[in-house]
Amino acid sequence: MVDFAGWEMPIVYRGIIEEHEQTRRSGSIFDVSHMGRLHFSGKEAVTFLNRVLTRNVSDQKVGQSRYSLVCNDAGGVLDDIIISKDAKNWILVCNASNREKLVKYFGDVRRSSGLDFDMSDQTEGTAMIALQGPKVIERLSSVFPTDLKALKRYHFVSDSFMMMVKYTVFRSGYTGEDGVELILPAKMAGMAIKMLAGKADKPDATIKPAGLGARDTLRLEAGMPLYGHELGESLDPISAGLGWAVDLTKEFVGVEKLREIHKAGPARKLVGIELEGRRIARQGTSIVVDGAVVGEVTSGTFSPTLQKSIAMAYIDSAYAVEGGLLSADLKGVMNPGKVVRLPFYKRNS
């Protein structure tokens, strides 16, 4: 167990690669209770959310979730979040390491704007569990009262087990696989995990526990950004390839700067890189073309699924072309590679 933003987190249970492969082949259960869960309600909650989120929430329907960014005035990313519209309130799921920063920032915006809304931090009273993998929906359909198969991607429902344990289930995840994420009362989490994972210690169990290590290699194969790597306060969502989650036609914090970046075109872009050999280019590794440094790796691993060394990196836009040849400077040894399309891995659907 390691400490992560004050949470004791399981990095690995049996082996990162084994847990990774179990997720791609069948299913895994991840404890992601460290993720922040904030609730918003009140008559000006929509106005507030539209001010701090890059995505327009006005047309969002009950039962819908959307990935969005929270930006600063310079267009840098304060966090990447998922905003969901429930019947009574809005649920915002944020990164553990950014939760306190966001709560303070949202409080500051409320004071300075005078907008009328309520915000409550539900993180500690609830638990969050992700179940991911191609066999998860089928396996859980026999356990859940909710019709999971009818639940569309990026949609959710609030329901209860035997009219007692209330939960919210989202068809979403951070692994590139189909699956769900579940929020439920913290004291019910232990029981729910036993019920959902079933006989997880059996060698042929459909769903087995997986830790943060596998979660990281899975999201990287799926080309999904991780805050502190691909995203940060000095990095903007346009350069990160997240323009689809930024509505430049509405007004929000950071929009002026993002419009400028969009218009001029980003100086650097986030790309996928495949390297020859088995060496891993980790965060901070220089990317070199013709002897000149043109970028820097943000995340890298040896992909268990592709059996290739993969990385994401910000590189000068002139070189951000699919098939472009480059090298990763691994302690002075130039390891050749090329720019590839993200994601590295896409499930069959």
- Which residue is it, tokens 């082949």? 25
Residue 27 Cα distances to 30, 73, 140, 195, angstroms: 10, 41, 11, 15
Report strand pairing: 28-31 vs 208-209: parallel
Nearest CB to another protein, comparing residues 151 and 218: 218
For residues 280 to 319, the per-residue mask of contacts with another protein, x marking binding by CB under 8 A and - elsewhere, is x-x------------------xx-----------------
Report d(CA 226, CA 233) in Å as an integer.
13
Distance CA 20, CA 18 (A): 5
> CB-wise, 25 or 166, nearer to another protein?
25
According to the binding rule CB under 8 A, does residue 279 interact with another protein? yes
**51/73 Cα distance (integer angstroms):** 12
Site string for another protein, 205-244 (x = CB under 8 A): --------x---x---------------------------
Per CB under 8 A, does 12 bind another protein? yes
The token duo for 153 is 């991607």
| CA 281/CA 295 separation, integer angstroms | 12
Site size for another protein (CB under 8 A)? 14
335 binds another protein (CB under 8 A): no
Looking at 10-18, 32-40, 146-154, 172-180, which segment touches another protein (CB under 8 A)? 10-18
Mark residues 15-34: x for contact with another protein by CB under 8 A, - for none: xxxx----------------
By CB under 8 A, which span of 27-35, 137-145, 202-210, 271-279 interacts with another protein? 271-279
Q: Which is nearer to another protein, 262 or 282 (CB)?
A: 282
CA distance 270 to 229: 11
What distance in Å separates the CA atoms of residue 205 and residue 199, rounded to the nearest whole number? 6
Binding site for another protein (CB under 8 A): 12, 15-18, 213, 217, 277-280, 282, 301-302
